[in-house]
């Protein structure tokens, strides 16, 4: 019987060329699976795109003396060219900097906000007095308080823990190398803790997931889900659709994952059937995601 198969491949960052790990670990396996399902007669919707916001882009832009948009445009063009040369078939290869994605993300944000899952809170964030700026995510580096490895302000790649910048030991500004001070700033938080029990129950019947994904996810949730700040003191990214937050942007890890939905909706618009995306997002459609292991939490 014909099935609706949704395939989401990891979105490569547009701060550099595609590398072998992205191709071999995510894009090519997704393409092979997509081609197999099309040959089997299934209805396939396979999407991905360039991940174009966040500090990886702005840091590259500052290093090269370019605007973030120039960096994103350059590497998105390279990504598209490489994908076409390799014969990888997407129904839609999008980008997170386009207006369509931004609108879907803002609508998603407002639904969460209106239902009480997003709230305002003041917090202490690292501020570099030498550079005259807050230091979100990769703009600050230091020592992980959990494993002692080198870490950035949002995550330790060594142990995989997500971090708040205030947790770093011996923090330093990525730009000038000076130690920052902690300064109060208001941000918006996603009430992730409200979903802890629901998520634990939801994964109970996911026996078709691989063992490592099941164990990783269960341990992650049982370790306690903390509410996370989903805004950043940046000028590049998806604008926050609330008064009082015009100088902040939505955190890339919050908005980029919505790309699978926005790319599906965008594809439907391009086909002239705006509601067609629902065939892969409602009912009995099956979803498959091809991601690196450090993306498992998402």
Q: Over 205-267, what HEC string results?
A: HCCCCCHHHHHHHHHHHHCCCCCEECEECCCCCCECCCCCCCCCEECHHHHHHHHHHHHHHHH
Asked if the model's pLDDT at residue 265 lies above 90, the reply is yes
Q: What is the DSSP string of 36-59?
A: HHHHTT-EEEEEEEEB--SHHHHH
What is the mean predicted confidence (pLDDT) over 19-27? 92
pLDDT digits over 52-70, tens only?
A: 999 999 999 999 999 999 9
Domain that holds residue 177: 127-182
pLDDT at res. 298? 66
- Please indicate, yes or no, whether residues 92 and 4 belong to a single structural domain of this protein: yes
Residue 67 inside a domain? The answer is yes
* CA distance linking residue 163 with residue 151, whole number of Å: 9
User: 90: which 2 tokens?
Assistant: 């997407």
- Please indicate, yes or no, whether residues 175 and 263 belong to a single structural domain of this protein: no
- The reported pTM is 0.92
Please state which of the ranges 73-77, 164-168, 271-275, 283-287 shows the lowest mean pLDDT.
164-168
Residue 280 inside a domain? The answer is yes
Grade residue 160 by pLDDT with cuts at 50, 70 and 90: confident
Asked if the model's pLDDT at residue 296 lies above 80, the reply is no
Asked if the model's pLDDT at residue 157 lies above 90, the reply is no
pLDDT at res. 281? 98
- Please indicate, yes or no, whether residues 5 and 76 belong to a single structural domain of this protein: yes
Residue 214 inside a domain? The answer is no
What is the number of domains present in the chain?
Answer: 2
Residue 108 inside a domain? The answer is no
Residue 175 inside a domain? The answer is yes
* Beta-bridge mates of residue 120: 188
- Please indicate, yes or no, whether residues 163 and 73 belong to a single structural domain of this protein: no
Grade residue 161 by pLDDT with cuts at 50, 70 and 90: confident
Residue 198 inside a domain? The answer is no
Residue 116 inside a domain? The answer is no
Asked if the model's pLDDT at residue 45 lies above 80, the reply is yes
- Please indicate, yes or no, whether residues 10 and 90 belong to a single structural domain of this protein: yes
- Please indicate, yes or no, whether residues 85 and 153 belong to a single structural domain of this protein: no
CA 213 to chain CA centroid, nearest Å: 18
- Please indicate, yes or no, whether residues 4 and 93 belong to a single structural domain of this protein: yes
DSSP-derived pairing of the beta strands 228-229 and 181-190 = antiparallel
User: 283: which 2 tokens?
Assistant: 């009912």
Asked if the model's pLDDT at residue 216 lies above 70, the reply is yes
Grade residue 28 by pLDDT with cuts at 50, 70 and 90: very high
Domain boundary among 141, 166, 182: 182
Say which CATH number the domain at 5 has: 3.40.50.620
- Please indicate, yes or no, whether residues 33 and 80 belong to a single structural domain of this protein: yes
- Please indicate, yes or no, whether residues 63 and 11 belong to a single structural domain of this protein: yes
Asked if the model's pLDDT at residue 252 lies above 90, the reply is yes
Residue 241 inside a domain? The answer is no
What is the mean predicted confidence (pLDDT) over 272-285? 96
Tell me the pLDDT of the chain averaged across its residues: 95
H runs (alpha helix) in the chain: 20-22, 28-39, 55-64, 68-86, 99-114, 196-202, 211-222, 252-255, 259-271, 278-281
Domain boundary among 167, 182, 197: 182
- Please indicate, yes or no, whether residues 155 and 80 belong to a single structural domain of this protein: no
Residues 7 and 44: beta-carbon distance below 8 Å = yes
């Amino acid at each position: 019987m014909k099935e609706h198969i949704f395939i989401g491949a990891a979105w490569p960052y547009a701060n550099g060329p595609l590398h072998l790990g992205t191709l071999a670990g995510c894009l090519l396996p997704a393409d092979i699976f997509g081609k197999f399902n099309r040959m089997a007669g299934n209805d396939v919707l396979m999407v991905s795109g360039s991940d174009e916001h966040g500090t990886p882009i702005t840091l590259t832009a500052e290093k090269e003396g370019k605007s973030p948009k120039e960096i994103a445009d350059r590497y998105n063009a390279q990504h598209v060219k490489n994908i076409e040369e390799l014969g990888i078939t997407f129904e839609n290869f999008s980008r997170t900097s386009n207006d369509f994605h931004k609108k879907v993300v803002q609508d998603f944000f407002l639904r969460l906000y209106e239902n009480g899952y997003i709230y305002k809170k003041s917090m202490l964030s690292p501020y570099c007095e030498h550079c005259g700026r807050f230091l979100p995510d990769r703009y600050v580096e230091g020592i992980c308080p959990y494993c002692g490895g080198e870490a950035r302000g949002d995550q330790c790649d060594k142990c995989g823990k997500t971090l708040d910048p205030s947790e770093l030991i011996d923090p330093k500004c990525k730009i000038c190398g000076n130690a920052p001070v902690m300064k109060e700033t208001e941000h918006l938080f996603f009430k992730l803790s409200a979903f802890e029990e629901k998520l634990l129950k939801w994964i109970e019947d996911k026996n078709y997931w691989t063992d490592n994904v099941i164990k990783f996810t269960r341990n992650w949730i049982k370790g306690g889900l903390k509410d996370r700040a989903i805004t950043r003191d940046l000028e590049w990214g998806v604008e926050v659709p609330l008064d009082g937050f015009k100088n902040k942007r939505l955190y890339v890890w919050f908005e980029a994952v919505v790309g699978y939905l926005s790319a599906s909706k965008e594809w439907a618009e391009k086909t002239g059937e705006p509601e067609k995306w629902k065939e892969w997002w409602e009912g009995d459609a099956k979803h498959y995601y091809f991601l690196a292991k450090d993306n498992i939490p998402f």
